[in-house]
Structure 1
Amino acid sequence: MPPGRLRRLLAATTVAALAGATALVAAGQDPGPRRPAAPPRVQVYLTTTTDPGGRTVGKGLERQRPLTFRPGPGGGITVDPSRTYQTFRGGGASFTDTAAWLLGSSRTLDDATREATLRALFDRRHGIGLSFLRNPMGASDLARYGYTYDDLPAGRTDPDLRHFSVGHDLADILPLTARARALNPALTVMASPWTAPAWMKDNGSLDQGRLRARYHGTYARYFVKYLQAYRAHGVPVAYVSAQNEPTCCAGLPSMRWTGAGLARFTRDALLPALRGAGLRTKVLALDWNWDRYARFGAPVVGDPAIRGHPNFGGVAWHGYAGDVAEQSRVHDRHPRLAAFGTENSGGAWVADQHREDLRDLIAATRNWSSSWVKWSLAVDQNGGPHHGGCATCTGLVTVHRGDAAHGSVDRTVEYYTMGHLTKFVRPGARRIASTTSAEVPDVAWRNPDGSTAVIAYNATDTPRRTVLTWHGHHAVYRLPARASVTFVWPARGAAARTGR
């Protein structure tokens, strides 16, 4: 047969075969066996510490040999993506005045070190991809001094807020927050005030005292001006709370409230002011511990006028006292109410920082938290500078200032524990069901691209055979004692993609 005729005959045969297979599929018939897609490989990222306090990092998010899913269920951590829970909004920390000054205008760091540190914090490819900032709205205890955005000499007032200015933040906090947003466009920003200006308060001081009733409307406009100023500088603020830790604490910028007073201010002043200014920023209630919800959160959340307002966003929780299950109890009463973990500081008082971080992270998110946020992004080697309050808090990074390592930056264990979440779980991810145990607690997420991330911690003093079960397949990993791990694998049929 001539070669040209043979080629035409083979081509016609191939077309006919394809047409026949297409017709069988259209008729609902299987044209024959197909090779099943190979199960995805599991990437493994491990963190270990080498001291009893869980602070000296041995392996920090170190990539391990990948695992292979094999046919058959294996028990252990069984992941069920058909059951979904809350949406992830982000994880991160705070540009306190302390952190921003250390990274910025203190001139402790050269430009290259500063940029490398910001990339390590906010860039997901080259760092851990922090995706949530909760910045103090004025001074906190981790500041060099007390300040607000409308400070006046004693005896003077400014009801029209003519002296309002965010000038303090233009030196460090605003430009660094804007740079963080450039490195991670998915970054969410929240703001929380520790105090109103002293002239609005009944004691004329930034320390304690109550907001005078006649200044409720003025203080709400103060929020509006802050949000408008930040937006004008390229930093939209998605959430605010009315007060960080109401009534806490003497000796630092702070302000006293009752639950009824917070509800009245939120309902009658703050929410209408935001709505009237055309701002989409949402107010979060409480912004304190689980054991303070009944006193300071319930009066706000229990008001239908607040709960139904378009500028109300949910409840902010701190992880220092009480029972984390309070988040689930509130969720059960108000299923449409979002929960946010907004402060969990590391510090010298913590017996095992690695263990506490992973237990807090997993417990908070398994109890509906949409975010998990530490406290200050940075402190120096002495835990400062600070203005009253916490002298032993730690940050995600330590900036050395005035010591033998001056100008260098250390990544603490908190950098890595946060990275187990933020490097691999994207904003918009949904928490999915997974079995858990006291020995190896875990939490599972499905990312917007269909990939799965499971964070687990071996709470025991011996290595544990850890089994992942997913869609009728299983993979086995030997998790070292008192170590944390994130397992990541792509959607079926997708190429493997990791944070690196």
Structure 2
Amino acid sequence: MRSFQSHSLSFKRVFLSLLIGGGVLIPSAYAAKKGSVQVLETSNTRSVDLRRSELKLNNGYDNNSLQINLNPAVRYQEMDGFGAAVTGSSCFNLMKMSKSNRMKFLKETFDPHKGLGYSYIRIAIGCSDFSMSEYTCCDTKGIENFALQSEELDYIIPILKEILKINPDIKILGSPWTPPRWMKVNNLGEKQPFDSWTSGHLNPDYYEDYGTYFVKWINAFEKEGIKITAVTPQNEPLNRKNSASLFMGWDEQRDFVKKGLGPKLREAGLNTKIYVFDHNYNYDKMEDQQSYPLKIYQDSEADQYITGAAYHDYGGNRLELNKIHNARPDRELLFTETSIGTWNRGQDLGVRLIGDMENVGLGTVNNWCKGVIVWNLMLDSDRGPWRELGCKTCYGAVDIDRADFKTITRNSHYYIIGHLSAFVKPGAVRIDGNNQSAEGIIYAAFENTDGTYALVLLNKNEKDTKVTVTVDNNSFVHTVLAQSVVSYKWRK
């Protein structure tokens, strides 16, 4: 397997960095004590950076503040978790760190008790556009030739094992960017071989073999002690241009699910969930692909195998989530990818923290998503390692300095996931509340399985805003800093 290529451009850091082992450490999440409210705050200026504090429950009532009244009797979706993609590039960078620094970062990120408690991971089935090379786990024709490759064995699996020691309950979603090239054809009419990593269609003659490929991949990881929670049949099935890609229209995905993937998973006795689609809200503006998941659900043979649908936000509006939920409320929704980069001022926390929390963190949850996963957990200070035809302009949730593989810059995606995962635990149920988008305040509220409440709130205003939060005849008052995100957790 050839080594990474890395971009040589450097960029100016526009905000503070974290020096692992010598600087500001992420505060621990901790259990809510009765009579107190635990608080976690971050401002877009980083004047407050994951600051932990404590309020007294029933510390007063302010009629002149914004009133937030929660109603736990009105309940919405159960949450699965929040996290980031652990790509080949992310693992390469993590492995370049000293073991002690890497473990410190992973504990701060994934520890459900003393850290931020990230609880969901996305990984590629084979290569992605942030892998060491283009490859699948069966590049020699014949499904009997399936085998994990260097990227899994030397990078992905070792990092996942370290994470699982920290958080054994982590959920993992697998997504392929491409099937083996020998399974590809130019189109379903001519069915001519299509020996390319980019684009092409899955040959229907190989639906069963490709379903077996998924089973072998899941079993290979489980033999390493790594349980795969869910899969999607194809990453970005309407994107032909990615460095590794496959076009899979809704009718093709329907047929693969009902003739290959679903039956093979069931035959193997696997309860791995299947989330269809895994692409943009606007279906890349393709008229015949609109409402992609709903069209698949209409086929009862395919529908029996499907848990729900997954979405990205590179096009369209998050209200599409609400539309899909309303049409099939018995099917789940996941948000599985978004990226920051040079195109959206991804390293400018002053710009990105507020928008990303509104649109990605809270906007997806308040439109029925059970989980929220951002793209690369960690890239380096040259936005890599990346491959030709891959993204050269992406930032990670955190970026690590290539000069020392020690100094870390936390970007907006790290904060928005952390503010959710720290206090909103898997199994929590989203609950109702008033004034969810009043006076520049946006929030989502939850009841955890241990009986605690959690509230994640965004203040878009350019001034501090006082809020009074009330539930179960208990209340607390807090002044939320301007342009900030704050998470609360308290016991009944």
Do they fold alike, i.e. is TM over 0.5?
A: yes
SS at match of 1:340: strand
Q: Is contact 1:73-1:470 (8 Å) kept?
A: no
**Aligned-pair distance for 1:307?**
2.2
Q: Counterpart in 2 of 1:322?
A: 316
Map residues 341-420 of structure 1 onto 2, 5 A cutoff: 341-351=335-345, 352-359=351-358, 360-387=360-387, 388-401=389-402, 403=403, 405-420=404-419
Asked if the contact 1:45–1:61 (Cα under 8 Å) also holds between the matched residues in 2, the reply is: yes
Question: Which TM-score applies when normalising by structure 2?
Answer: 0.85
TM-superposed deviation, 1:72:
6.4
CA apart distance, 1:144? 2.6
Unpaired runs of 5+ residues, structure 2, are 1-32, 186-193, 284-288, 346-350
Structure 1 match to 2:459: 458
Going from structure 1 to structure 2, the CA distance change for 1:390 and 1:294 (only over 3 Å counts) comes to same
Matches of 1:336 and 1:72, distance apart in 2:
40
C-alpha distance after superposition, 1:440-460 (max 9, x if no partner): 000001111010110011112
The 3-state SS of whatever aligns with 1:149 is coil
> Which residue in 1 is equivalent to 2:36?
41
Match of 1:18 in 2: none
Identity %: 29
* Unmatched segments (≥5 aa) in structure 1: 1-37, 51-56, 492-500
Q: 1:397 to 1:71 in 2, by over 3 A?
A: closer
Q: What is the DSSP-based 3-state SS (H/G/I as helix, E as strand, rest coil) of the residue aligned with 2:145?
A: coil
Whole-Å Cα distance in 1 between the matches of residues 50 and 406 of structure 2? 24
Q: Which moved more, 1:113-122 or 1:274-283?
A: 113-122
Shift of 1:338: 0.9
Q: Which residue in 2 is equivalent to 1:334? A: 328
Aligned to 1:307: 303
Helix, strand or coil at the partner of 2:69: strand
TM-score (norm 1): 0.83
Match of 1:431 in 2: 430
3-state SS of the aligned residue for 1:214? helix
Alignment equivalent of 1:102, drawn from 87, 93, 97? 93
1:92 to 83, 88, 102: 83
Q: Which amino acid aligns with 2:139?
A: D
Determine the C-alpha separation between the residues in 2 that align with 1:340 and 1:140. Answer: 19
Question: 2: CA distance between counterparts of 1:456 and 1:163?
Answer: 47
Contact map agreement 2:340 2:396 (CA 8 A) in 1 = yes
Match of 2:136 among 148, 171, 187: 148
Q: Is the 8 A contact 1:73 1:473 kept in 2?
A: no
Q: Does residue 488 of the first structure (1) align with residue 489 of the second (2)?
A: yes
The higher radius of gyration belongs to 1
Q: What pairs with 1:9-48 in structure 2 (closer than 5 Å)?
A: 40-48=35-43
SS in 1 for 2:49: strand
Q: Which residue of 2 aligns with 1:495?
A: none
Structure 1 residue ranges, 4+ long, deviating more than 4 angstroms after superposition: 70-75
For residues 157-306 of structure 1, the aligned pairs below 5 Å read 157-158=141-142, 160-202=143-185, 203-292=194-283, 294=290, 296-306=292-302
Structure 2 residue matching 1:172: 3-state secondary structure = helix
The answer (yes or no) to whether the contact 1:117–1:409 under 8 Å persists in 2 is: no
2-structure distance, mates of 1:73, 1:400? 46
Q: How far apart in 2 are the matches of 1:73 and 1:126?
A: 33
User: Does the Cα contact within 8 Å between 1:399 and 1:410 map onto a contact in 2?
Assistant: yes
Shift of 1:267: 1.0
Q: In the alignment, is the contact (CA less than 8 A) between 2:61 and 2:476 conserved in 1?
A: no
- CA-CA distance at 1:304 after TM superposition: 2.1
Aligned residues: 436
Q: How far did residue 166 of structure 1 move?
A: 4.2
Q: Which amino acid aligns with 1:383?
A: R
RMSD across aligned positions (CA): 1.9
Alignment correspondent of 2:104: 116
